[in-house]
Structure formats: C-alpha cells, structure tokens
Amino acid sequence: MNRQSNTYTIIYSTVLVLVVGVVLSVVYQALRPKQLENIADDTKKQILASARIVPEAGQNIGELYSTHIKSSYIVNDKGEKIDPTTNAFDVNVSLESKKPASERLLPVFECTTDNGLKYILPVYGAGLWGPIWGYLAFDSNGDTIYGAYFAHAGETPGLGAEIEKPAFRDQFEGKDVFSQTGDFQSVAVVKVGKEPAGQAWVHAVSGGTITSQGVQKMLFDSLEPYSAFLLSLKNNK
C-alpha cells in the first residue's frame, strides 16, 4: 500500500487510536482498585480527623480506622436505624443532600476516642466556587460538638479555603447545636461584632463571606435531619 496515500493515513491513524485506547483501558483497569483504595483512605482520614484522630507518618489508615470506628449505620429523619443494602460508608452524601429530609439516608459513625464515644455525622453544601463538605463529631450527649473537619473543591486560597484550616474548624469544639429549650438551631458563622445571643457561634473566615455563609447553611441543612437522632442521644445521656 502506498504510504503516501490518504487511505494508508486513515488506516494507520485508526489502528493507532485503537491500540492507544486499548492500552489506556488496560492501564485504567489495572490502576482502578488502587485509586478506589486511595479515595476510601482519604475519606477515612477525614472522618477520623473530625474526632481529632490524626495518623502518624506511615501509619495504615485502614487499620487506624478499624481501631476507632467500631460501628456505623444509617438512620432516617426520625432518628430510627434503618437497614438498607447500602453500607453507611458508601452513602453518597452529595446525592442525599439533594433529597427531602424524609427520604435521606443519614450515615452515623461511632468512634472510640481517649475522651469517650463520639458520633460522627457528614455534612455537605455549597461554597462560593463549588462544593464544600466535612464531618462533625458529637459527644455522647448528642448536643456538643467534639471536633470538626471541613474541605472544599475550589474555594479561593487565603480566603474561603481557610475553612479547612485549624484556626476556623477548631472554633466548633464545645459548641452546642440545641437551644436551652431543646430546639435544634445549629451553629451560626458570623462576622466579628455580629455574635448572636442565645445561639452557639463561630467567627467567619475573614474575606470569605460567601463561603462562611455556605458553611452555616451546610451545617443547618445537613444536621437538621439528624436532630431526632441527636435528641435521642441527648435524652439517654
């Protein structure tokens, strides 16, 4: 066949594309299990971080997770445990957050710590430029936040992205999400000088107003469906 002809060029290009496609597919399939393992380990690290558990250098995340997370399950908005086919760890919180509260699968992770049993709940919302998410660990009284972890997909460095820094998230430690009369009210994220009376609050990120507002909305929208579950802990403390 004439290598200078259009037919040869088309055939050569087609074969080359097919070969490259097959090679990439094989490589993808070979690396996929490791990719999924890394994603799972990162999620486990985030869950543990909310309970102030940080792995040491070289420590196996899976083993550390298994040591501290002794139980996980799913509840509904009535605070009742349900038994779906989905594992609590595999619940897509992003998708669940778009459903009415009465239809959501609400994961709960029980975590043993040096300071007692903690209940870890996921939160998910929207920042300025994309999704924000995190985990909150509650004391066994179902009211007081023990620790928090937040992350984002693309908030502005030095501004909204500061929600992932200890200076912001550590403010949540010791905050209560119920009022003195027993009503769920979450935690307000406010500017200095705008602290509300009668509600737990933290200071917003300087220069990250929209992201901070997103965190406040995320907390209320994500935690309110858990209020019955948290109240059950509070009433049985």
Give the start-to-end residue ranges of the domains of the chain. Answer: 68-235
pLDDT at 47: 98
Q: What is the dihedral of CA 164, 53, 116, 82, to 10 degrees?
A: 70
Cα–chain center distance at 124: 6
DSSP per-residue string spanning 5-18: SHHHHHHHHHHHHH
Q: Which residues contact 157 (CB under 8 A, 6 or more apart)?
A: none
Is 152 in contact with 132 (CB distance < 8 Å)?
yes
Cα–chain center distance at 168: 16
Entry pTM: 0.85
pLDDT at 168: 97
pLDDT at 35: 67
Low-confidence residues in the chain, pLDDT < 50:
none
